[in-house]
Structure 1
Amino acid sequence: MTTSATSSRRVLRLAVVGHTNTGKTSLLRTLTRDAGFGQIEDSPGTTRHVEGTRLLVEGAVAIELFDTPGMEDGIALLDYLERLTPPGQRMDGPERIQRFLQSPESERRFEQEARVLRRLLDCDAGLYVVDVRDPVLGKHKDELALLASCGHPLLPVLNFTNSREQRLGAWRSALARLGLHAMVEFDTVAPALDGEAQLYDKLALLMDEHAGLLVELKQDVTRQKQVRHEDGLRLIAELMVDVAAWRVSAEPGEEEIKAATQALRRQIRDREAACVSALLKRYNFSSRDFPAHTLPLEGERWGMDLFHPQALKDYGVQIGKGVAAGAMAGATLDVFTAGLSLGAATLLGAAAGGLWQGADRLGKRIMGRMRGYQELSVDDAVLRLLAIRQLALLHALERRGHAAQTPINIELDPMTAASAKPGASESDLDLAHDKDFQRQLERWRKQDLPEVLVEARSQPQWSALSEHYENQSRRKQAVRTLAQKLGQA
């Protein structure tokens, strides 16, 4: 991760601490957008040693983050600290911790706790990760007493706040009673869109000397999020233009047309899969996060579709007495793809013909048409489906933490989402209940296709699937225009 802070600023060192299996490694994965950091399992005590990672500032280290083992026996350690204090002698918290770290038990019974406390003493502050699904117990209070003895600021990070089993109110009350009034909600599986910004804001309140760095880091997080979003929309727009412009030629005859139809479907599936892979990579996820799904393509459009005014101008065609004739061909079916329910979607095919002036500019395509060849392109309904699928994936990626262990579940139907299978997280259901996003998708379901896609229909050289692909300036502008259209809420 890169921010805009200057390399001359002192590095901020943060220890990520807490009880076993609360999500400390998960927090680091999400903050660094590195799903491969550390090891995450359901069993307690997965992290046995201190591990570190860094956030970079224009190539220089700005923040060091240290993952620590879970504390397991705070009650016994507090009792041991009492015995280490000589009678009649007063010691402050850091002195008591230092005496413990010099004792034999720091390398035996309390070896794991010693690693945590030694690391916190060496850092500027600690992020105390809490699993708010757990009840507040005495062991948690003892842990906090031990950590507070190190004399460094502690910021509780309330994890798994989206869970149905969360006890957020109880934890907030308990932490306040312990004097920890500054805390942040940060679900590492499905963080809020402004979750990182809130985290850095709260840290800045506790650490004035690092406030400038944390403000710049917050600003950079916002910038990077916007850049990723724009890149994602561009990738989807490129897919849509490639698919709208692509066409397959078929010789006359039923078998030849059937073979060409299968080839078209295969090529579009592969192109969509490439877009999915690019989106996953841009957000630093892998194919394990979104298993591949095939797209059932029906209702291919027949005809050359050369009637867009821009296409007529490009080919030197004069608008006159055109001839159009055709028949309806297609199917009505329910489409269920990647957990996405679109309900009954009528996919219609259409045939069209016409008169061409300036036919010399169309070359082999016109000659093939005159010899009885057909040209297949995808139906409008398929383009709509592609847009909906990719926008839903983008929406899910932007709300997914890098600690998430279950595959992305794109469920857009509120009725289906309400009865989702057990174990589905709240984040999996957000798409179905995000009203702004649902309105965005409704436009793609019902409104006319954007003009740039209509134009792309008659520009086969715009498709990267074509051997005659030309990434000309008009195509680039079409992609930019479509990306803006895709991003409209």
Structure 2
Amino acid sequence: MTTINLSLVSHTNTGKTTLARSLIGRDVGEIRDEAHVTALAERYRMIETAGGDSLELWDTPGFGDSARLVRRLRQQGNPVGWFLTEVWDRWRDRPFWSSQQALRNVRDEADVVLYLVNASERPGDAGYVTPEMEILAWLGKPVLVLLNQLGEPRPGEQDRADEEAWRQHLAGHPFVQRVLPLDAFARCWVQEFTLLDAVGSALPEGRRATFAGLEEAWRQRRLEQFRASMAVLGEFLATSSRDHERLSDEGLGTTLRRLGQLVGMDSASDVREQAMACLAERLEREVRRTTDQLIEIHGLAGRAAEEVLARVSSDFAAREKLGEGRAAALGGILSGALSGLAADLAAGGLTLGGGALVGAVLGAIGSAGAAKAVNLVRGTDSSEVRWSADSLLRLSVTALLRYLAVAHYGRGRGEWHQGEYPPHWRPLIEEEIQRRQGALSAAWSQRNGTADDERALSESLAGVLADTARALLTRLYPGIRLPA
């Protein structure tokens, strides 16, 4: 049984404990926005193999007053030995006492040092880095520099620019093996693969075989979370695609009143009586339920936020069993009274896109011939309302937006809460979904089958989403190795 130890070190109040929480998936340590919160080095198990090998993460006290410390160390023939044998008062000289605890941990325990820097600062402005690099050089351990406090996820070129700036700044320190972005608040699990690859390369040859087993165990844990997440979203899309509300054949007047109430044309005594509102209500419940499942899969706490419907499409496809003599009348009324809503017979009947084409003026959508064609082509024996094909594509986009938001949520933030999505995510998702529109449409065409067909539909959609998510993660984090 072999133990590989990683020591998290940095200047005080740079986010070591926050990152430790995100990596190990538990609320360990204490987090406050002040110096020297972590008093003693604490060990946490990241992963253990069936054979008993383990990967341990040490959260250490932060360096303090590093410039003064280096001046003292330079005066000694054996700087580290002298410093570790001195007695420093824990309260009166807290910076030196904390630095002593960190150095002792690195000397005695660390196989690889993970040194965090505040990437919101320019390298030249982080005055603590140079003296702390000098201290780490005396210890002789391999160091990986992690760029923390990057903020919300950004386009990859911005991260690469930060990496390059810090890499150049640290080029004079040969013990620094790699510079990697790994934000404690917004890291993504695929970045952990890059970190572990770098750890493996930094280890002595004799410990790499053991570490390879630990790394594989870690990868499988994260990939299982990924597969479980895609299964949840595949089931969500399958359920949404099959959901519908049948409308009794009450005539055009009743149907129009229902449509009118939905958009505020008439006061509705109970909006949940409306078929479309019922669909929306069920969709909201499903979004909440599946977001909660994603949160649980990723080991986070908290419930889905209250803004669910603002982030999903509010489009409906209404397949009305229209009498031939009423089709033109319906078209005319909609063109005036419901301007701002899209009408698209080709998408499966009447598609109402709330907000999608706001301000557009509808033309007459039908005639007696058009109504007959819809009834004949669609084989519609009764009136019903269901999500349109376009809406399902948009639901696919928002499903992956939810997944990325949860997958990037660093545990250091505390309980889950929904924030704004980084603006570069949606265009990438829309592009990748568009490339797979054929596969999604083929799956949805089978949505009216048996329970076995529904399971097959869920699995098929999960497969398409997984393929899409892998493509997205590869684009967001170039160089990441993800299995097919």
TM-score w.r.t. the length of structure 2 is: 0.69
1:275 aligns with 2:290: yes
1:334 aligns with 2:355: yes
Report Cα offsets for 1:333-361 as digits up to 9, x if no partner: 4249xxxxx99899x99996579x9xxxx
2:391 is matched by which residue type in structure 1? V
**1:172 maps to what in 2?**
167
The Cα shift of 1:269 comes to 1.6
Correspondence for 1:56 among 47, 56, 60: 47
The Cα shift of 1:185 comes to 0.6
2:142 is matched by which residue type in structure 1? P
- Select between 224-233 and 281-290 the one with higher mean Cα deviation: 281-290
**1:474 maps to what in 2?**
453
The Cα shift of 1:46 comes to 4.3
Correspondence for 1:380 among 389, 397, 400: 389
**2:67 maps to what in 1?**
75
The Cα shift of 1:194 comes to 4.5
**2:101 maps to what in 1?**
115
Measure the CA separation in 2 of the matches of 1:455 and 1:332: 23
**1:322 maps to what in 2?**
none
Other structure's SS at 2:43 match:
strand
Are residues 140 and 440 of structure 1, via their aligned partners in 2, closer, same or farther at CA, if it must alter by over 3 Å?
Answer: closer
Report Cα offsets for 1:183-213 as digits up to 9, x if no partner: 2312224446643233223322332232123
The Cα shift of 1:82 comes to 5.8
The Cα shift of 1:50 comes to 3.3
The Cα shift of 1:182 comes to 0.8
Other structure's SS at 2:45 match:
strand
Q: Is the 8 A contact 1:148 1:154 kept in 2?
A: no
Correspondence for 2:433 among 423, 441, 461: 441
Other structure's SS at 1:284 match:
coil
2:85 is matched by which residue type in structure 1? R
Other structure's SS at 2:300 match:
coil
Matches within 5 A, 1:273-422: 273-287=288-302, 292-294=307-309, 295=312, 297-302=314-319, 329-335=350-356, 374-403=383-412
Measure the CA separation in 2 of the matches of 1:455 and 1:395: 28
Are residues 292 and 216 of structure 1, via their aligned partners in 2, closer, same or farther at CA, if it must alter by over 3 Å?
Answer: farther
Measure the CA separation in 1 of the matches of 2:417 and 2:305: 5
2:355 is matched by which residue type in structure 1? D
Q: Is the 8 A contact 2:47 2:55 kept in 1?
A: yes
TM-score w.r.t. the length of structure 1 is: 0.68
| Number of residue pairs matched by the alignment | 400
The Cα shift of 1:215 comes to 2.1
Correspondence for 1:15 among 7, 10, 17: 7
Report Cα offsets for 1:412-447 as digits up to 9, x if no partner: xxxxxxxxxxxxxxxx2341463xx43222257x75
Q: Is the 8 A contact 1:30 1:401 kept in 2?
A: yes
**2:236 maps to what in 1?**
239
**2:115 maps to what in 1?**
128
Correspondence for 1:187 among 168, 182, 186: 182
Correspondence for 2:215 among 209, 218, 237: 218
1:474 is matched by which residue type in structure 2? D
Q: Is the 8 A contact 2:166 2:179 kept in 1?
A: no
1:65 aligns with 2:57: yes
Are residues 438 and 409 of structure 1, via their aligned partners in 2, closer, same or farther at CA, if it must alter by over 3 Å?
Answer: farther
2:200 is matched by which residue type in structure 1? A
- Select between 245-254 and 158-167 the one with higher mean Cα deviation: 158-167
Q: Is the 8 A contact 1:250 1:375 kept in 2?
A: yes
1:429 aligns with 2:423: yes
Gaps of 5+ in 2: 259-270, 322-347, 469-484
The Cα shift of 1:401 comes to 4.0
Measure the CA separation in 1 of the matches of 2:91 and 2:240: 64
Other structure's SS at 1:455 match:
coil
**1:145 maps to what in 2?**
134
The Cα shift of 1:238 comes to 1.0
Report Cα offsets for 1:254-313 as digits up to 9, x if no partner: 389661413232122212221222122222334468654124634343369xxxxxxxxx
Structure with more of its chain in helix, by fraction? 2
Q: CA RMSD in A?
A: 4.1
**1:316 maps to what in 2?**
none
1:452 is matched by which residue type in structure 2? A
**1:155 maps to what in 2?**
144
- Select between 253-262 and 63-72 the one with higher mean Cα deviation: 253-262
1:451 aligns with 2:442: yes
**1:248 maps to what in 2?**
245
Q: Is the 8 A contact 2:320 2:384 kept in 1?
A: yes
1:380 is matched by which residue type in structure 2? A
Measure the CA separation in 2 of the matches of 1:155 and 1:21: 19
**2:203 maps to what in 1?**
207
Are residues 181 and 397 of structure 1, via their aligned partners in 2, closer, same or farther at CA, if it must alter by over 3 Å?
Answer: same
Measure the CA separation in 2 of the matches of 1:345 and 1:122: 74
**2:340 maps to what in 1?**
none
Q: Is the 8 A contact 1:184 1:202 kept in 2?
A: no
- Select between 114-123 and 273-282 the one with higher mean Cα deviation: 114-123
Measure the CA separation in 1 of the matches of 2:39 and 2:424: 35
